[in-house]
A and B are shown apart, each in its own frame.
Chain A
């Protein structure tokens, strides 16, 4: 039997041992994903805890149609996007402060000498919409394939592809502060597949 299936069954019975085993197996990835989506380690730690508590509450609703890990990542992404949206509404902007983006608490001392380009990219990433940030994080940082992203975000593969292209275009635009289609001779928009 798939170890994740066993974990899901234990969680559905609200067994603390199953929750611990799930944390051992998936905790790092969940926490890392939260950190990459939210940008600040304190927020990410709080969100990751919330993910596991929700998992404990709602594991009985896991129907097995998706892989357990996909379901867990979907729960994580949705929770983080919800928090980003709440933050955006609260402070009237779409992102945490750009200066707060590169979180010294998120890295050991040995990493403090990271490059300016890296910090700039992290700041730019935080200026994207939650939707664009999520898809770039899943692809570029988590290394998910288009099919895996599609399953996680419950989107068609075609939408994943076009949204990724737009997210990258937006990032390039922010980096260069120029319209992404400025010099495009045939700017016909392609409707997003549904």
Chain B
């Protein structure tokens, strides 16, 4: 009978930990694990597979040949050393981004005032009624009135 306190997932976790000599981490009693293995053929097979895996890993554990990377690291590090510190570069980048964003915004907006701004200008700078007749004779004033009417249409 499979031990009621240990299902197969827990048993396989414990088997993996036992293989690493870390069964304590699994909070599993060795006797409980053995009882599970005695009753569960699938977990016994899994245990054999884990052992075979450990042997195969031992084959991969040898030291691979490595290149000397220092000359390249040194060259790149010297370049980085000459460059301003990271924080400064980030701040400069941020300022550049904001500057570019502002330039794009101004370019899209153009230098001419929008219709709503023209209305505001007209309202703010509207001459007093007494002077309107005099100002109405000025071509610029008529021009402003004309364009505002077109906007309203």
Q: Which of A121, A122, A145, A183 contacts B41 (CB 8 A)?
A: A183
* Min CB–CB distance A163 → chain B (angstroms): 10
Q: What separation, in Å, do the CA atoms of A28 and B11 have in the docked complex?
A: 37
Given A32-B63, A181-B8; A158-B69 close (CB under 8 Å): no
Given A52-B73, A183-B41, A186-B7; A14-B2 close (CB under 8 Å): no
Q: Which of B7, B43, B60 contacts A118 (CB 8 A)?
A: B60
Q: What separation, in Å, do the CA atoms of A164 and B14 have in the docked complex?
A: 11
Query: Which range contains the number of B residues in contact with the other chain?
Result: 35 or more
Query: With contacts defined as CB atoms under 8 Å apart, how many contacts are there between chain A and chain B in the complex?
Result: 143
Stretch in B15-23, B98-106, B107-115, B142-150 touching the partner:
B15-23
* B80 contacts the other chain (CB 8 A): yes
* B130 contacts the other chain (CB 8 A): no
Interface residues of A (CB under 8 A from B): 14, 16, 19-20, 23, 27-28, 31-32, 35, 41, 45, 48-49, 52-53, 56-58, 106-108, 111, 114-115, 117-118, 120-122, 125, 136, 139-141, 143, 145-146, 157-158, 160-162, 164-165, 168-169, 171-172, 175-176, 180-190
Interface residues of B (CB under 8 A from A): 2, 7-10, 12-13, 15-17, 20, 22, 25-26, 40-43, 45-46, 49-50, 53-54, 56-57, 59-67, 69-70, 72-74, 76-78, 80-81, 86
